Chain A
Amino acid sequence: MPTAEQTLDEILTLAAAHFKVSREKLRPDDDFFKTLGINSLQTLDLLTKLENHFHVELPDYELQGVSDFRTLAGKIQARL
Chain B
Amino acid sequence: MHEGNPSVGQGAVSESALSWSLTEGVIELALHRSPCNELGSASLEELEKFATALQVMEPDAHALIIYSELTPGFCAGADLRELYQRSQAMERTQAARGVRDFLERIHRVLNLIDGSPLTTIAAVHGVTFGGGFELALACDLIVADKMARFCFPELRLGLIPGFGGIPRLKRDLGNAVVRDLLLTGRSINATKAQQIGLVSQVVGEGEVLRAARATAAQLRKFDRATAAAAKKFIKPIPHEELRLEIDMFCELFARPAVEAGLRKFVESSDAQPYLP
Contact = CB atoms under 8 A, between A and B. Distances in A.
Given A52-B191, A60-B187, A61-B186, A45 B147 contact: yes
6 contacts: A41-B36, A41-B76, A43-B275, A44-B127, A51-B189, A64-B275
Range class of the B interface residue count: 20 to 34
A59 interface: yes
Contacts of A43: 271-272, 275
Contacts, number: 63
B192 A60 contact: no
A43 B127 CA distance: 11
Q: What's the dominant secondary structure at chain A's contact region?
A: helix
A39 interface: yes
Interface in A1-49: 33, 39-41, 43-45, 47-49
Contacts of B25: none
A41 B186 contact: no
Given A41-B36, A41-B126, A45-B147, A59 B273 contact: no
Given A51-B189, A52-B191, A45 B126 contact: yes
A60 B151 CA distance: 10
Contacts of A67: 271
Nearest to A34: B271
Interface in B156-202: 184-192
Interface of B: 35-36, 72-73, 76, 126-127, 146-149, 151, 184-192, 270-276
B189 A52 contact: yes
A40 B273 contact: yes
A41 B275 CA distance: 9
A25 B76 CA distance: 31
Nearest to B191: A52
A61 B191 CA distance: 19
A60 B275 contact: yes
Contacts of A57: 188-189, 192
Contacts of A59: 184, 186
Contacts of B275: 40, 43-44, 60-61, 63-64
